[in-house]
Amino acid sequence: MSDLFERSIVLATANPKKVTELRAIFAGIGLGVESLADLNTPTTEPDETGATFEQNATIKAVEYARQTGRLCLADDSGLAVDALGGAPGVISSHYCTDGVETGMTREERDAANNEKLLAELGDRAISERTARFVCVMVLASPDGNIHATTRGTFEGAIGPPGDVPRGTSGFGYDPLFLVAPELAQTSAELDAKTKNALSHRGEAARAMAETIAAMRGA
């Protein structure tokens, strides 16, 4: 294979909490990674104009690979709530502003997103609050070639107001997300090892690691 595969993979994300999760997942399966912050190469975040997780992950992987000259792994992830027709979906991180960047901090956005989601679900019964996290990962090289795409899901439900938010781990919608099948704990109450074993990001990352290992051995 190309010598691109002999170097660490670059995680094409500016989200430090996501980097921490991915480092832990990939370290557990023996894959070395770097983040954009580890590089001396200046980068510009591309516009995520896709209508699906796959499209946005591809946009990020291709553009960051072009900018850095390295093999880049990007993911696009979010929450899909059945009662809301799959929303927040691809605008999960900016749900409170209908997908528009307004300069809020990540913590402010998370709180506002969670508040909006609970308000939209109202007093629906737990059987009508089913949801899942989705993660799509795309591996691209500087020439624009897509080497692999993987997908993972994490099933659960959005807890009712008064019961959630709970937990101090994770980020985003984790404090609202009751983990299936028991629906007893939120994702934010899981320890890192358990969460990585169950989560959408963990599932997609393990599949990607297997794919990369196969390509390196080819």
Q: How far apart are CA 53 and CA 95, in angstroms?
A: 15
Q: Does residue 134 sit in helix, strand or coil?
A: strand
| Cβ atoms of residues 74 and 61 within 8 Å | yes
The residue annotated as part of the active site, out of 3, 47, 75, 76, is 76
Question: Whole-angstrom Cα distance, residue 75 to residue 79?
Answer: 14
Contact indicator for 159, 29 with CB cutoff of 8 Å: no
Indicate the burial class of 102 (C-beta count within 10 angstroms; 0-12, 13-18, 19 or more): exposed
- Residue 88 preceded by cis peptide, ω within 30: yes
Angle (CA) 156 150 196, round 5°: 45
Structural tokens at position 36? 């954009």
- Counting every residue written for the chain, the total comes to 218
Confirm if 198 and 135 have CB atoms less than 8 A apart: no
Q: Helix axis angle, 16-27 relative to 200-217, nearest 10°?
A: 50
Percent of the chain as helix, strand, coil, to the nearest 5 = 45, 20, 35
Q: Is 3 designated active site?
A: no
Residues annotated as part of the active site = 76
